[in-house]
Amino acid sequence: MAMLISGKELAEKEKEKVAREVETLRGEGIRVKLVVIIVGDDPASKTYVAGKAKDCAACGIESEVVRFPQQTTEEELLEKVRACNEDPTVNGLLVQLPLPKHICEKNVINAIAPEKDVDGFTPVNVGRMVIGESCFLPCTPAGCIEMLQSTGLPIDGKKAVVIGRSNIVGKPMALLLCAQNATVTLCHSHTRDLADICRQADILVAAVGRESFVTADMVKEGAVVIDVGINRGADGKLHGDVDFSAVSEKAAFITPVPGGVGLMTRAMLMRNTLEAAKRQSGRFE
C-alpha cells in the first residue's frame, strides 16, 4: 500500500517558512506584495485566485486582486500589466489563465516583467530554466519536485516518465527532472505504447487532464506517482488523472487529489513572491 505524499503538510511547512522570512523582511522595512489579475468569471479561476489571496494572508504577503470584465480588451489588460511592472510596491505579478479567447495569452505573458514573473511563464524565465540559470521556476513542476524530494528517495539516475507536454506543467516538469539527473521520457497524445513506457517508470508524473487516465496496469510496483490532474468528476468532486485506489496498491508513494500537487503549487507561488521581493531589494539567494 502506497505512502501518501501530503501536499497539505508540505505546503503548510513551506508557507510557515515563507511567513517567517516575510516577517524578517518587514522588520527591515521591506513589504512583500503580489498582484493577481483575473479577467472574466471563470468559476475555477475565481477559486484559484481566492486560494492565492488566502495563502498570501497566511504568509503576511500583501495581495491585490485586479478584476477585469470578460469584454476587456487586450490593450486594457496590457496597460495594467505595464503599470504593475513600473510600480515599485508590486513584487510579484501574475495573470490568471485561461484568458478570454479574444485576448492573446502569449502577448500578455510576454509583457510581464521577468523579475516580477512569479509564475515563471515568461520566455526569459523559461529560457533561464532550460539552461539551468537562476530564475522563477513554474510553480506546479517545482512543487512536484519538492514532493518527490520529500519521499527521501533519490531522483538521480531514476527513470522518470511525464505524461503531458503543456508549457505550464509537462514540459517544465521534464526539464526539472532532467536537472535532477533523472532519465526522462516525455509522453503526449501522439505517444505510442504509452502503457509500456509508463510501466518502466520509477517516477510517473500524470498531467493529462483526464480522470482515472493512469490505471494500475500502467504502473510499476514500487513507483512514485505524482498526480497533477484536477478534473471535476460526474460526482461533482475533484479527481486526479490517476485511478487512486487501484494505483495505491502498487505504488510506493502517491499524491492525493485533492490535497496534493495543487496545494504545493500554491505554496511555490508564495516562495517565488518572497524571492522576487528579496531580489528586488538586493537580497539575492
Residues 227-266 as x/- pattern, contact with ligand NAD by CB under 6 A: -xxxx-----------------------------xx--x-
CB-nearer residue toward ligand NAD: 90 or 206: 206
Q: DSSP string of 179-232?
A: HTT-EEEEE-TT-SSHHHHHHT-SEEEE-S--TT-B-GGGS-TT-EEEE---EE
User: Which CA distances in Å does 44 have to 37, 40, 206, 253?
Assistant: 14, 11, 20, 28
52 counts as catalytic: yes
User: Which CA distances in Å does 207 have to 166, 173, 186, 234?
Assistant: 8, 10, 11, 20
Does the footprint of ligand NAD cover residue 163 (CB under 6 A)?
Answer: yes
CB-nearer residue toward ligand NAD: 93 or 208: 208
Does the footprint of ligand NAD cover residue 188 (CB under 6 A)?
Answer: yes
- Interface residue with ligand NAD among 34, 168, 204, 268 (CB under 6 A) is 168
Instruction: Evaluate whether 114 touches 124 at the Cβ level (below 8 Å).
Output: yes
106 counts as catalytic: no
CB-nearer residue toward ligand NAD: 152 or 192: 192
CB-nearer residue toward ligand NAD: 191 or 281: 191
- Interface residue with ligand NAD among 194, 216, 246, 252 (CB under 6 A) is 194
Q: How far is the CB of 64 from ligand NAD (least distance, A)?
A: 22
- Interface residue with ligand NAD among 75, 86, 189, 221 (CB under 6 A) is 189
Query: Which residues are registered as beta bridge partners of 238?
Result: 232
- Interface residue with ligand NAD among 99, 111, 162, 187 (CB under 6 A) is 187
Residues 111-150 as x/- pattern, contact with ligand NAD by CB under 6 A: -----------------------------x----------
96 counts as catalytic: yes
Q: How far is the CB of 283 from ligand NAD (least distance, A)?
A: 28
CB-nearer residue toward ligand NAD: 60 or 170: 170
Long-range contacts of 64-69 (CB under 8 A, 24+ apart): 64/33, 64/34, 64/35, 64/36, 65/35, 65/36, 65/37, 65/38, 66/35, 66/36, 66/37, 66/38, 67/38, 68/37, 68/38, 68/39, 68/40, 69/39, 69/40
Catalytic residue among 117, 119, 227, 241: 119
Q: DSSP string of 59-121?
A: HT-EEEEEEE-TT--HHHHHHHHHHHHH-TT--EEEEPSPPPTTS-HHHHHHHS-GGG-TT--
- Interface residue with ligand NAD among 40, 51, 100, 209 (CB under 6 A) is 209
| Residues counted in the chain | 285
Catalytic residue among 15, 80, 96, 250: 96
- Interface residue with ligand NAD among 114, 120, 170, 172 (CB under 6 A) is 170
Cα–Cα distance for residue pair 30/60, rounded to 1 Å? 12
Catalytic residues: 52, 96, 119
- Residues near ligand NAD (CB under 6 A) are 140, 163-166, 168-170, 187-189, 191, 194, 207-209, 228-231, 261-262, 265
